[in-house]
């Protein structure tokens, strides 16, 4: 809090210098011609008022310090309470392993600096995600490593006015890695299968899917922002069965974080990976080459495509599946081109 201002003496007199204006006089009625000095009137505040103002300023500073101390005490108490619940097991997870408290207080806080400071993600059209009920977000996939899914999750978590949480559908490889498996479950991710997706949607969750899969995330840099196949439309069938809207989502900026200029396929087969990327910095710079480039990201959510007007048997109509899948894909591709035209720089 800024210090309160103490008003200075306003007449500019230098007291005791002998050079200020002479004191005014008046005639003493009883003494004839005797003149008596009139007490000098100061235009500044009295000593008591000045001391009161200084005391108020000190009190305000003290109140601010106490408020800051109280804030830290509350944070410390909240952190200790969180640790106690972790140790005693007094926290809840759903049937998929989603730990809301851990996600909100730890995982999102860990990814937020990357989201806000490093990639400086800008989110548009967040109002297209409904405030309640299920919704299926379909996004493009890119970047060599799946950081776009994590940034998408933070974007929905931090920007949606209703505080919605995004439950991502992940590939089976995610759940085969020891540490990643546990963290993915805690963050609300689940296996990319129709049964799990439909159960989440029917429970009113916002579910995210990236139909390109490894074809999108592992494509060469020369094919950036060119969508790969969206599969056979399984996500459309799931949305139709649950009767939830499909929200197209376009992500610009992720393609350039690891420009993939080569693929060591033999090494990938040995390691059991779908691809082994070669970039301008990896593996030449070792671990330093795994640091992503600080590109500027934009995530835009498009107009939702309703599915609740179709009959129940529509989910079995292959022509309808193809048409809706193509509509979603074309919407995302068109938005990507539009965002690229509007983008002035990859990094700024």
Mean pLDDT across 334-346? 96
pTM, full prediction: 0.77
Using alpha carbons, select from 238, 241, 242 the residue that is nearest to residue 134: 242
pLDDT at position 345 is: 94
CA 83: distance to chain centroid?
Answer: 24
* 13-25 tens-digit pLDDT: 333 444 444 444 3
Residue 183 or residue 4, greater confidence: 183
* Phi, psi of 291, deg, nearest 5: -75, 125
Pairing outcome for strands 25-27 and 35-37: antiparallel
* 115-168 tens-digit pLDDT: 999 999 999 999 999 999 999 999 999 999 999 999 999 999 999 999 999 999
What lies within 8 Å, CB to CB, of 45 at 6+ separation is: 7, 53
Q: pLDDT band at 75, cuts 50/70/90?
A: confident
* Residue bearing tokens 């390691």: 271
Q: pLDDT band at 256, cuts 50/70/90?
A: very high
**Helical ranges in the chain per DSSP H:** 47-88, 100-102, 108-113, 147-159, 178-186, 194-202, 214-217, 234-242, 265-271, 318-342
pLDDT of 182 strictly over 60 = yes
pLDDT at position 69 is: 63
pLDDT of 8 strictly over 70 = no
């Amino acid at each position: 809090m800024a210090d309160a201002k103490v008003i200075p003496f306003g007449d500019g007199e230098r007291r005791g210098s002998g050079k200020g204006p002479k004191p005014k006089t008046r005639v003493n009625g009883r003494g004839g011609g005797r003149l008596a000095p009139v007490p000098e009137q100061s235009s500044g505040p009295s000593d008591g008022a000045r001391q009161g103002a200084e005391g108020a300023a000190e009190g305000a500073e003290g109140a601010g310090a106490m408020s800051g101390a109280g804030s830290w005490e509350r944070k410390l108490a909240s952190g200790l309470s969180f640790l106690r619940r972790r140790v005693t097991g007094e926290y809840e997870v759903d049937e998929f392993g989603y730990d809301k408290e851990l996600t909100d207080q730890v995982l999102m806080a860990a990814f937020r600096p990357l989201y806000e400071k490093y990639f400086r993600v800008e989110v548009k059209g967040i109002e297209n995600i409904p405030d309640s009920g299920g919704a299926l977000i379909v996004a493009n996939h890119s970047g060599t490593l799946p950081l776009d899914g994590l940034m998408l999750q933070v974007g929905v978590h931090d920007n949606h006015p209703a505080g919605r949480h995004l439950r991502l559908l992940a590939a089976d490889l995610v759940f085969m890695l020891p540490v990643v498996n546990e963290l993915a479950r805690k963050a609300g991710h689940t296996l990319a299968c129709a049964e799990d997706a439909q159960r989440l949607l029917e429970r009113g969750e916002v579910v995210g899917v990236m139909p390109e899969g490894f074809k999108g995330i592992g494509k060469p840099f020369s094919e950036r922002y060119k969508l790969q196949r969206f599969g056979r439309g399984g996500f459309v069938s799931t949305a139709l069965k649950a009767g939830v809207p499909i929200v197209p989502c376009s992500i610009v900026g992720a393609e350039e974080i690891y420009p993939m200029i080569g693929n060591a396929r033999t090494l990938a087969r040995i390691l059991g990976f779908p691809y082994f990327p070669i970039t301008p910095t990896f593996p030449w710079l070792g671990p330093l080459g795994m640091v992503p480039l600080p590109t500027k990201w934009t995530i835009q959510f498009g107009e939702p495509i309703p599915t609740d007007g179709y009959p129940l048997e529509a989910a079995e109509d292959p022509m309808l599946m193809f048409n809706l899948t193509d509509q979603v894909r074309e919407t995302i591709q068109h938005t990507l081109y539009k965002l690229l035209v509007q983008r002035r720089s990859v990094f700024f």
